[in-house]
Structure 1
Amino acid sequence: MYLSTKASPQQVREALKARENRQEIVRALSHGQVSRRDLLKWGLFTAGGMLAMKGGLNPFVGNALADSIPTGLPLSPLFGVKPFSAPLPRCDVLKRNPVSSLSPAPTKEANTTATYDIAPALVGGSTGLKGPAEGRPPGPIWAHQGWEKYSPQVAVEVWQRGASACYDYNPQVDSSLNNGIDPKAAVPCSFHPQFPVQNPGNLWTFEGNAPPKLLLARYGEPVLFRHHNDLNPDITKNGGFGRNTISTHEHNGHHGAENDGFAGAFFFPGQYYDYHWPIVHAGVNSINLEAADARCGTPDGKGGITKLPGDWHETMSTHWFHDHMFSFTAQNVYKGVAAMFNLYSSLDRGNETINDGVNLRLPSGRAKDWGNLDYDVNLMLADKAFDQSGQMAFDIFDFDGFLGDTMTVNLAYRPYFEVERRKYRFRILNASVSRFFKLALSDGSQIIQIGNDGNLLPAPAYLSELDQQGIAERFDVVIDFSRYKNGDKVYFVNLAEHQDGKRVANDLSLTEALSGKSPDPCVGRFLEFRIARNAAYPDTSQVPRVLIPNPDLSRIPVARERTIEFGSGAASLKTSTAASGPWGSKVDGGAMLAADIGRVSAAPRAGTREIWTLKNGGGGWDHPIHIHFEEAQILARDGKASNVPLWERGRKDVFRLRPGGSMTITLQFRDWGGMFMEHCHNTVHEDNAMLLRWEIDDSGSPFLRPLPTPIPTPQGVTFQASVLPNGA
């Protein structure tokens, strides 16, 4: 994949030239000058999505001096930086404000009264044009569901911007718990103090700065998330990759589709979009309506519990939100349009000292009633690549997937983290484009997995190494550092070795991963834990034997079974709402079709339960499939319930199919309606047509026709008729 450190100067020169040529292709694609269909037509990509074997373009074409030796990709420069020489920054907590702070005030339907001045770069150079300030599609179909019942109580206002220094860093922990980082000092947008500062076109983040952002919310406290698009309206100022139109997906949030980040509901520089996140338990309209069970509740701010309707078994904990722009999700998320989101409840309240018989008392802290972060740490893992000037680079060398050669945690290159001798909780997100991880501690000692995706498991899993973690999966784990002495060091180690973006090539042993012999630059140690001191106060946290059991669905009849296959060789219908690329999906034995956000592939009825079998179409790829909106329970892997390990037996929203494999899952359709997505979260696959739309109406009535598809423009959103295949 990447050049060896022993590569000859000739190999390095040819690899750099090949990368430059490929980056010209990516740049033209991101600027809209060419399409993926053009690349196929011109022979730059094969029908299977592979980069054509052309010298000066493909990194695997033999070089001029030795045709039997592939050039590979040029390694990212490290500027003499050694691993573990800079601290891990905690995530930057977003401000929670009163809803009255928003101007204009949020509205149930999209605000079409307030206008903005459209930048000439968005409309072919025309000047003096205006459009609606809110980019949400207008009208009742895209009105906020449950607006009156779950009126917003907290406002979070953010701006999407190019890289700039952070001057108001707020990790919400004392600097002694954040490696001594001074929160009052400016934090430059670089991956290490000795790396170059990133250009505004190469790195886009929430607020335009690093570290990554973190949103804290509690059940029963609806959030109005106002997202401003403050990116450069000139798409040619994008550093050569990414698209400056965005759509924010709150990954598996339980709310209406108008707030889900539909891939075709994007908005433009100069606009904002109001997302209404009610933060309710699933089953809120059908289960525990009298709000009688304290386990379905939320911290009341005074040490007690406010009881809520819904199913306590559906309580979630660790989410994230990220861009979902149609055909550009991979590039935009890679550029930094991603943040983490912690949800707090009566079960998982983020205060380890409150012993009320409901609170699980997981490692967190004690100063606040809820949401303590002292010993509850978010880790965003991602591989990155850099050009020779140190700017972040993206390279579609083929449609299998993109791999970086530089490991980062919270946008920091191989950092260190000082810990006390006590238990810590780590919420680990795989925020890569195509890379899988498999984590262990360098001494092989125990890791306790307590969560998978947004949910706590029914019971903890005690492991010496974690399972492979697919893109977008979240693993919540507990590590007890009291077993070490002050001054000791232990490391998180990646055991998953890639040769390409298709899948993990080898699960290495701990000894092999630590040997430094792997050709994969992201194998081995990537985060150093420094045991710095004794616990500041007695550790009263615990890991209970029972966490959150799954809902019992046995009494809910199965209304329908579906089979959805994900594979290559897809046919595109070439409509205005279709994507092009080699990937696609096949529903119930139909044709393998490329993504088309105007086509509804499934239309389950509200209030029902279905069983879906997700199949990998073969070819050696691994597809982590994500279903928006509803979580599911896994009934079988490869046809057998016994193949489902303990750490996959909770509720999930990402389903790793493994090469040639399948998963059978069951899911309900409740509480909210609209158009949702399902796709591979290897986002290169997603952007190259492995995505489908499914739809549920909010009245429970069968569809007579599908909802119209939004078509955003800088001057407003129009709609066109959608297609509902027979039998959906």
Structure 2
Amino acid sequence: MYLPNDASKARLREAEIASRNFAELATALSKGEVTRRDFIKWGLATSSGLLVPVHGLTPFSSSAYAAVFDIPTGLPPSPLFGVQPFTQPMPRFDVLPRKTFTFGAGVMDPIPAFPGAPGPDPTEQANVTQQPVPAVLGGGTGPIEGRPPGPIWAHQQWAGFPPRMAVEVTQEGAKPNTVYNPGVPSSLNSGIDASRPFRPAFHPDLPDQGPLALWTFNGTLPPKLLIGRYHESILFRHHNRLPDDPTRNGGFGIHTISTHEHNGHHGAENDGFTGAYFFPRQYYDYHYPICHGGYNTINLDAAEPRCGTPTDAGGIENVQGDFHETMSTHWFHDHMFSFTAQNVYKGNAGMFNIYSSLDRGNEEMDDGVNLRLPSGSAKSYGNLDYDVNLMLADKAWDADGQLAMDIFDFDGFLGDVMTVNLVYKPFFEVERRKYRFRILNAAVARFFKLALSDASPMVQIANDGNLLPNPVVLNTLDELGIAERYDIVIDFSRYSIGSKVWMVNLAEHENGRRPKEDLSLREALSGSSNDPCVGRFLEFRIVRDPARPDVSQVPEQLIVNPDLTTIPVAAQRTFEFGRGAKQNSTDPITSFLGPWGIKVDGATMLAADFGRVSAAPRFGTREVWTLRNGGGGWDHPIHIHFEEGQILARDGKASNVPAWERGRKDVYRLHPGGSVTLTMQFRDFGGMFMEHCHNTTHEDNAMLLRWEIDDAGGAFLRPLPTPIPTPQGVKFVPPDEILPTAFR
């Protein structure tokens, strides 16, 4: 399975040769000398060797060590250069600066537009002001904003939710961070001195990542944290400062990006649609209204304080909508068509904490509405003292310590090194009190199953972006699928000062299709697993008593689900996820033929084509969708964009839905051969959205479909035209295909 460090020299040498051959194929792919369709046509598999002539790439299998290609990383073991686990502090996320929005006041000045002038104020429709396009991208001129132009892709509800805060970021290669803001003092960040430059390295004793190996928000570590509160609309300007030349990618990743705010309740123009990507030297203005679902149909008099946003003065500003739809923990990441896995793995991922009158982020404020979850109290909202974001991801690097990836494993890439907040197996200092941890699985294909090393209890309070109806006490969490978020509370008051406890991964993988098995805690701690990402990966050091009494709470009731039983079911749809997909379109831009696909309502299993309309629920309706796993050899975490759903049944039975899945969700685990039936509404906004497996290798190869709400009024057409981005501008074309059952 994983190649051990003590493997024979011949086997290690063969693995190095294999990885170099893979790198040459990746370079040829980025230059356009071959296409991913060629790899499928050739029948490349992870058990085959590859020979790469300069021209006319051809596969062959003659290696005495052909099994080297069964290594999940596709690489020799990642060298650790003598680094030991738990010898560096875990950094808190880097809080993105926010600026109060004022049109015409140079609000977008903090990060100037390429190549150096202050950026223009945002506009409802895309800014099509022209700029020169470099020769490597075709020359001529093109728009400064990569958002598709015109009224169809204008910001919905722009007048109703005018931007109140501006956040500006770049996407660029790795560099030191000289403006790190953890949002807490050093004493609450394990002693890290934020005034010192933070190197782009997975450990102080590991090499710095080069600017072609790691592409992050602002080009720096730690990962970024966006702070928002309800009805404080954010204008999120994302500059693409990646290399003009697509071959300058360090062996994987592509320089076009599309930012998905997972699972934001806003129009599709701000969703990061997989086909709405933008190019180097362009920016894209995303508009996040941060509103409750049903804001234009429920609680219109804003009389319900539980549907509110925290004010700076400590009060509540009541707003319209359904407080049952309150969200808390989101994340944002790249969604480039057929390159999501590579770009997210390369560093395009951050987290987003959303604060409300219910989930305020101030544990001392007792106003009868605030849940008083662990957080802190210095600010009226959004305290991070005891509210900690954790991004879990497995990585791999080459002999030089540079991030590396096997892009030819279509089952799912696995790394052999565990990271938390993009550093290798750190420690985190805690006080003897309760902490809230917002845990994100940001891996490509790896599932995690978490426990504490002493088997002591944790309290799960949220699943995905939504607080549960009731907290659930668990000694072992359920498997955490890719893109799922589990918010948990750990009470460290049960430990003495000077003691340690570890977070442990119990889920063992041998390939990217699904976990092989979940080990017992004893087995995971024994070190006997062949999977190097099993076992301890985060050390908690209990260092002191808190300076203030811990008054935080975990109430017996958190946020009850909205009652949808009185809303008629307008349609029922079935989506089956499996292998052996066909492709009806040959469009090289919108479609991709891969081994994975989706079958809609019992028709043909089809590969991804963002020009195809697979479902078009009507605006203002409710539907019931059944998601089915078409095979027993794989596990699919399915993500439906835009709307949260409620799981009605697992494998046809409501009794199979565990307590930690009884809140609203946006990622639905499909166990091998299993199914999930859910219900959701389609309100407030419209446009084209996606549904896909969030094993991002499966998504890219090609388990993804487009669905749309195209009768939401305004400029919408039925069906919507497909955007085709180029550096010289975006054009629109009719859909490649419309499935017969799409419009009901």
Q: Secondary structure at the match of 1:597?
A: coil
In the alignment, what sits opposite 1:54?
49
In the alignment, what sits opposite 2:425?
414
Q: Secondary structure at the match of 2:606?
A: coil
In the alignment, what sits opposite 1:87?
89
Q: CA deviation at 1:67?
A: 8.3
In the alignment, what sits opposite 1:228?
239
Residues 565, 586 of structure 1: 8 Å contact kept: yes
Q: CA 1:8/1:574 → structure 2, altered by over 3 Å: closer, same or farther?
A: same
Q: Which amino acid aligns with 2:722?
A: T
Q: Which amino acid aligns with 2:374?
A: P
Partner Cα separation in structure 1 for residue 69 and residue 289 of structure 2: 56
Residues 62, 71 of structure 1: 8 Å contact kept: no
Q: Secondary structure at the match of 1:694?
A: strand
Q: CA 1:700/1:26 → structure 2, altered by over 3 Å: closer, same or farther?
A: same
In the alignment, what sits opposite 1:174?
185
Q: CA deviation at 1:76?
A: 0.2
Q: Which amino acid aligns with 1:662?
A: S
Q: CA 1:66/1:585 → structure 2, altered by over 3 Å: closer, same or farther?
A: closer
Partner Cα separation in structure 1 for residue 321 and residue 575 of structure 2: 30
Q: CA 1:689/1:55 → structure 2, altered by over 3 Å: closer, same or farther?
A: closer
Q: Answer yes or no: is 1:727 the counterpart of 2:729.
A: no
Q: CA 1:56/1:413 → structure 2, altered by over 3 Å: closer, same or farther?
A: farther
Q: Which amino acid aligns with 1:413?
A: Y
Residues 14, 65 of structure 2: 8 Å contact kept: no
Q: Which amino acid aligns with 2:298?
A: I
Partner Cα separation in structure 1 for residue 542 and residue 298 of structure 2: 46
Q: CA deviation at 1:541?
A: 0.2
Q: CA deviation at 1:42?
A: 2.7
Q: CA deviation at 1:117?
A: 2.4
Q: Which amino acid aligns with 2:493?
A: S
Match runs of 1:703-714 below 5 Å: 705-714=718-727
Out of 124, 131, 139, which is 1:108 matched to?
124
Residues 564, 585 of structure 1: 8 Å contact kept: yes
Out of 610, 617, 620, which is 2:633 matched to?
620
Partner Cα separation in structure 2 for residue 555 and residue 460 of structure 1: 27
Q: Answer yes or no: is 1:359 the counterpart of 2:354.
A: no
Q: CA deviation at 1:99?
A: 2.4
Partner Cα separation in structure 2 for residue 224 and residue 610 of structure 1: 31
Partner Cα separation in structure 2 for residue 244 and residue 442 of structure 1: 41
Partner Cα separation in structure 1 for residue 70 and residue 168 of structure 2: 49
Q: CA deviation at 1:158?
A: 0.5
Q: CA deviation at 1:33?
A: 2.8
Partner Cα separation in structure 1 for residue 537 and residue 473 of structure 2: 22
Q: CA deviation at 1:30?
A: 3.5
Which residues of structure 2 form unaligned runs of 5+? 53-57, 109-118
In the alignment, what sits opposite 1:33?
33
Q: Which amino acid aligns with 1:122?
A: L
In the alignment, what sits opposite 1:602?
615
Q: CA deviation at 1:303?
A: 1.0
Residues 248, 324 of structure 1: 8 Å contact kept: yes
Partner Cα separation in structure 1 for residue 247 and residue 287 of structure 2: 32
Q: CA 1:59/1:32 → structure 2, altered by over 3 Å: closer, same or farther?
A: closer
In the alignment, what sits opposite 1:405?
416
In the alignment, what sits opposite 2:55?
none
Out of 518, 525, 535, which is 1:514 matched to?
525
Give the CA RMSD over aligned residues.
Answer: 2.0
Partner Cα separation in structure 2 for residue 561 and residue 41 of structure 1: 36
Q: Which amino acid aligns with 2:199?
A: P
Q: Answer yes or no: is 1:568 the counterpart of 2:579.
A: yes
Q: CA deviation at 1:36?
A: 1.6
Match runs of 1:1-40 below 5 Å: 1-40=1-40
Q: CA deviation at 1:53?
A: 2.9
Deviations 1:356-405 (A, max 9, x none): 01000000000000000000000000000000000000103421100000
Q: Secondary structure at the match of 1:41?
A: helix
In the alignment, what sits opposite 2:98?
96
Q: CA deviation at 1:66?
A: 11
Q: Which amino acid aligns with 1:589?
A: G
Q: CA deviation at 1:7?
A: 1.3
Q: CA deviation at 1:536?
A: 1.7
Match runs of 1:539-554 below 5 Å: 539-554=550-565
Q: Which amino acid aligns with 1:105?
A: D
Partner Cα separation in structure 1 for residue 447 and residue 29 of structure 2: 26
Q: CA 1:31/1:535 → structure 2, altered by over 3 Å: closer, same or farther?
A: farther
Q: Secondary structure at the match of 1:374?
A: coil
In the alignment, what sits opposite 1:486?
497
Residues 153, 221 of structure 1: 8 Å contact kept: yes
Partner Cα separation in structure 1 for residue 708 and residue 337 of structure 2: 17
Out of 206, 218, 222, which is 2:229 matched to?
218
Deviations 1:205-224 (A, max 9, x none): 00000000000000010000
In the alignment, what sits opposite 2:111?
none
Q: CA 1:62/1:419 → structure 2, altered by over 3 Å: closer, same or farther?
A: farther
Partner Cα separation in structure 2 for residue 55 and residue 283 of structure 1: 54
Which residues of structure 1 form unaligned runs of 5+? none
Deviations 1:648-707 (A, max 9, x none): 000000001011111000010000000000000000010111000000025379997310
Q: Answer yes or no: is 1:611 the counterpart of 2:606.
A: no
Match runs of 1:332-351 below 5 Å: 332-351=343-362
In the alignment, what sits opposite 1:505?
516
Partner Cα separation in structure 2 for residue 208 and residue 281 of structure 1: 32
Deviations 1:597-644 (A, max 9, x none): 111000000111000000011041101000000010000111111111
Residues 162, 208 of structure 1: 8 Å contact kept: yes
Q: CA deviation at 1:70?
A: 7.0
Match runs of 1:131-530 below 5 Å: 131-530=142-541
Partner Cα separation in structure 2 for residue 715 and residue 53 of structure 1: 40
Q: CA deviation at 1:17?
A: 1.3
In the alignment, what sits opposite 2:113?
none
Q: CA deviation at 1:32?
A: 3.2
Q: CA deviation at 1:51?
A: 2.9
Partner Cα separation in structure 1 for residue 51 and residue 453 of structure 2: 40
Using structure 1 for the length normalisation, give the TM-score.
0.96
Deviations 1:280-312 (A, max 9, x none): 000101110110000000101111100010000
Residues 637, 693 of structure 2: 8 Å contact kept: yes
Deviations 1:121-174 (A, max 9, x none): 211xx4xx2211011000000000000010000000111110000000001100
Partner Cα separation in structure 2 for residue 545 and residue 551 of structure 1: 18
Partner Cα separation in structure 1 for residue 674 and residue 585 of structure 2: 30
Residues 608, 703 of structure 2: 8 Å contact kept: yes
Q: CA deviation at 1:27?
A: 3.0
Using structure 2 for the length normalisation, give the TM-score.
0.94
Partner Cα separation in structure 2 for residue 201 and residue 55 of structure 1: 24
Q: Which amino acid aligns with 1:17?
A: I
Q: Secondary structure at the match of 2:177?
A: coil
Q: Which amino acid aligns with 2:131?
A: Y
Q: CA deviation at 1:14?
A: 1.1
Q: CA deviation at 1:59?
A: 14
Q: Secondary structure at the match of 1:529?
A: strand
Partner Cα separation in structure 1 for residue 227 and residue 122 of structure 2: 21
In the alignment, what sits opposite 2:132?
117
Q: CA 1:417/1:190 → structure 2, altered by over 3 Å: closer, same or farther?
A: same
Range 487-496 or range 129-138, more displaced: 129-138
Q: Answer yes or no: is 1:633 the counterpart of 2:649.
A: no
Q: Which amino acid aligns with 2:421?
A: N
Q: Secondary structure at the match of 1:24?
A: helix
Q: Secondary structure at the match of 2:238?
A: strand
In the alignment, what sits opposite 2:116?
none
Q: Which amino acid aligns with 2:12?
A: V
Q: CA 1:60/1:449 → structure 2, altered by over 3 Å: closer, same or farther?
A: farther
Identity of aligned residues (%): 67
Partner Cα separation in structure 1 for residue 69 and residue 198 of structure 2: 43
Q: Which amino acid aligns with 1:16?
A: E
Deviations 1:408-438 (A, max 9, x none): 0011000000000000000000000000000
Partner Cα separation in structure 2 for residue 71 and residue 717 of structure 1: 41
Residues 62, 69 of structure 1: 8 Å contact kept: no
Q: Secondary structure at the match of 1:27?
A: helix
Q: CA deviation at 1:31?
A: 3.8
Partner Cα separation in structure 1 for residue 541 and residue 81 of structure 2: 24
Residues 605, 702 of structure 1: 8 Å contact kept: no
